[in-house]
Structure 1
Amino acid sequence: MKMKMAFATCVQLGQSCVEEIYRIGGNLDLLITLKDEKAKNKSGRIYLDDIATENATPLLKINNINDQEVIDTLKAHKINWLFIIGWSQIAKKELLETPTHGCIGMHPTLLPIGRGRAAIPWSIIKGLDKTGVTMFKLDEGVDTGEIIGQGVIPLNEKSTATELYQTVDELHITLISKYWDAIVNNNITLTKQNDADATEWPGRKPEDGEVLGRMTMNEADSLVRAVSHPYPGAFYKNGDKTIRIWSAEINKNDGEIKLSDGYLIPVDYEVEGF
């Protein structure tokens, strides 16, 4: 019996996966996205109208992934697997159990490390030497489901959010391509996460990008790299001015950090802070 697949997304990471599914000859029986007027300012917000039309795939636009309309539509299309990728709303029990085989998500860390929010900025801020993307079966927890597969991304002291976001996008595509056949043939191996190794990262807001005087040069540099495009960017308050910082370079010999726009921020040698 042919497996029937659905995909829910509203951001570029998810659209890239949808495009890859069609590129490798896969088929989706239903696409789900947010209504046009919702999350207009969300980073990476996309619209699936064109890709749905090009592939003659039904497109459902919704307010919330747990709406009864979603559950009814999944049942009507007899969906076996639902991908939920690039979606901030948490799927509840009824939705998770509606597709006959379950729901699949991806998270841009090597789970169980980095469950939660803001995975790309935190990976850089925390100075990790590697991160990655995990494909997993969703359960009622936050990023706690059984793992289908992972890919590793090396990090270093120059990694930026811009570069990491692009690599994460590419790894989403790689994992979709790698595991698609196993999923549609119901031949995946699920591996439980080791909760003893789990860490949870909180959400971040634009105001968390402020470069503060108590930070060391390395802390400030990490913050600038972590919240650059496509995120809101770091900033430094100089009197009544707010200076937006997209990139910076540490010059430890002169005790300064040089910003991309030419500003120089002096550094106190003793405390190595601003």
Structure 2
Amino acid sequence: MKIIFIGCVKFSYRALNAILEKQNQNIEVVGVVTKKTSPFNSDFCSLEDIAKENDIPCYIAETKEQKLMLEWIEQFHADVIYCFGWSHLLSSEILNVPKLGVVGFHPALLPYNRGRHPIIWALALGLKETGSSFFFMDEGADSGEILSQEKIIVDHSDNATTLYEKISIVAINQIQTFTLKLAENNYKTEAQDHTKANTWRKRTKKDGEIDWKMSAKSIYNLVRALTKPYVGAHCDFSDKEVKIWNGRIEEANTDEYRNIEPGKVIEVNENEIVIKCGEGLFTITDHEFEKKPERGSYL
């Protein structure tokens, strides 16, 4: 089975490595499509080096235009294309090139939560579970038939880094399993129930701004959703934007603070800053304040 691999994020790199480990006379990666740079992928990772190390032809996509990419892909007569970690929909012409189709990846429990930033939104919304879904791509977004899907529990302590890692570990195992099944023509798919689908929108900078009138729980979810490898949540202090990378909900008697306005600094201890929220208290534990706010001041 000849595979073309498309991707440009850290998960793409790990997935390609996992497939190369399983290469044999029946499974071969014949081409790689990637980018040199990306202005919007926080976890960007070019696959050019790994392609060169394994003597695999590599196409560098410079723009969204796909005509030249199509022509390059067609020469390999691939049986299947894997597209894992690519921020653009593929053209119908590319989707129709391989005999088996194009397999895409979405870290959510499809048909639920299609669309953009699935790890960020899952954490920001405080979801208890998410998933790792591989599907045959059609002309829609994350709407094709499911090839492999696993449920993943989201713990209260999870953040963007740990959830990314959880999903990656599960997904790599899925890839190695269904690659063997595809090579043996021994696989099954399941159509998505489109009536259950919702689509998450693109995140904006405004979505990462902490409003201290939010509950401590909502602020905690926002901070853990946007921590590394993503851009970080932020608040304003002294007319400057300050990144907030980590924090915790304080298990305090909130009645004691019921007359305190949201955004007031309750306590400052070494690197930790306790803030009154719309509901509860939130302690900032990892931040980029140049000068820490004083007790009694406001964010």
Q: What TM-score comes out, normalization by structure 1 length? A: 0.90
Conserved 8 A contact 1:15-1:48: yes
The Cα of 1:50 is off from its aligned counterpart by 2.5
1:216 CA displacement: 1.0
The SS at the match of 1:29 is strand
In structure 1, how many angstroms separate the alpha carbons of the residues matched to 2:45 and 2:279?
46
Match in the other structure for 2:20:
22
Aligned to 1:32: 33
Q: Secondary structure at the match of 2:272?
A: coil
Q: Deviations over 1:103-155 (max 9, x none)?
A: 00110001011100010011112221111110100000000000001122111
- One-letter code aligned to 1:263: I
Pair 17,257 (structure 1): closer, same or farther in 2 beyond 3 Å: farther
Query: Residues 169-184 of structure 1: matches in 2 within 5 Å?
Result: 169-184=168-183
Name the count of aligned residue pairs. Answer: 269
Does residue 166 in structure 1 map to residue 165 in structure 2? Answer: yes
Map Cα deviations across residues 235-262 of structure 1 (whole Å, 9 max, x no partner).
1223423331111111141656989942
Structure-2 residue corresponding to 1:145: 144
Which has the bigger relative contact order, CA under 8 A and spacing at least 6? 1
2:216 touches 2:279 (CA, 8 Å); kept in 1?
A: no
Contact residue 247 and residue 259 of structure 1 kept, 8 A: no
Cα 1:60–1:47 change in 2 (3 A) is: same
Structure with the greater alpha carbon radius of gyration: 2
Separation in structure 1 between the aligned mates of residue 269 and residue 73 of structure 2, nearest angstrom: 50
Q: Structure 1 residues 236-245 or 225-234, which shifts more? A: 236-245
Distance 1:82 1:123 in 2: 28
> Over the residues paired in the alignment, what is the CA RMSD in angstroms?
2.4
Q: 2:274 aligns with which of 241, 264, 268?
A: 264
In 2, Cα distance between equivalents of 1:6 and 1:257: 56
Deviations 1:198-236 (A, max 9, x none): 121111133321110331111111101111111111112
Q: Tell me, in whole angstroms, the C-alpha distance in 2 between the residues paired with 1:232 and 1:259.
A: 26
Question: Displacement, 1:271?
Answer: 11
Trace 1:67-216 onto structure 2 (pairs within 5 A).
Answer: 67-216=66-215
Per-residue deviation, 1:42: 2.7
Among all aligned residue pairs of Structure 1 and Structure 2, give the percentage whose two residues are the same amino acid: 29
Whole-angstrom distance in 1 between the partners of 2:267 and 2:193: 41
Question: Secondary structure, in 3 states, of the residue corresponding to 1:122?
Answer: helix
Contact 1:206 1:232 in 2 (8 A): no
Aligned counterpart, 2:9: 11
What does the per-residue CA deviation read over 1:149-169, in whole Å, with 9 as the maximum and x for residues that have no partner? 112211132221110011122
Residue identity matched to 2:222: L
- What whole-Å deviation, never above 9, does each CA across 1:45-85 have from its counterpart, x for those lacking one? 22223321222211111234652222112221111211111
Gaps of 5+ in 2: 255-265, 283-298
Q: Distance in 1 between matches of 2:118 and 2:270?
A: 25
Paired residues of 2:275 and 2:281 also in contact (CA < 8 A): no
Change (3 A) 1:259 1:140: farther
4+ aligned runs moved over 3 Å, structure 1: 254-261, 267-272
- In the TM superposition, what whole-angstrom CA distance separates every residue of 1:155-199 from its partner, at most 9, and x where no partner exists? 132221110011122222111111111112222211000112112
User: How big is the shift at 1:21?
Assistant: 0.5
1:238 aligns with 2:248: no
Distance 2:144 2:241 in 1: 42
Cα distance change, pair 235–257 in 1 and its aligned pair in 2 (3 A): farther
Q: Which runs of 5+ in 1 are unaligned?
A: none
Is 1:248–1:259's contact at 8 Å kept on the other side of the alignment?
no
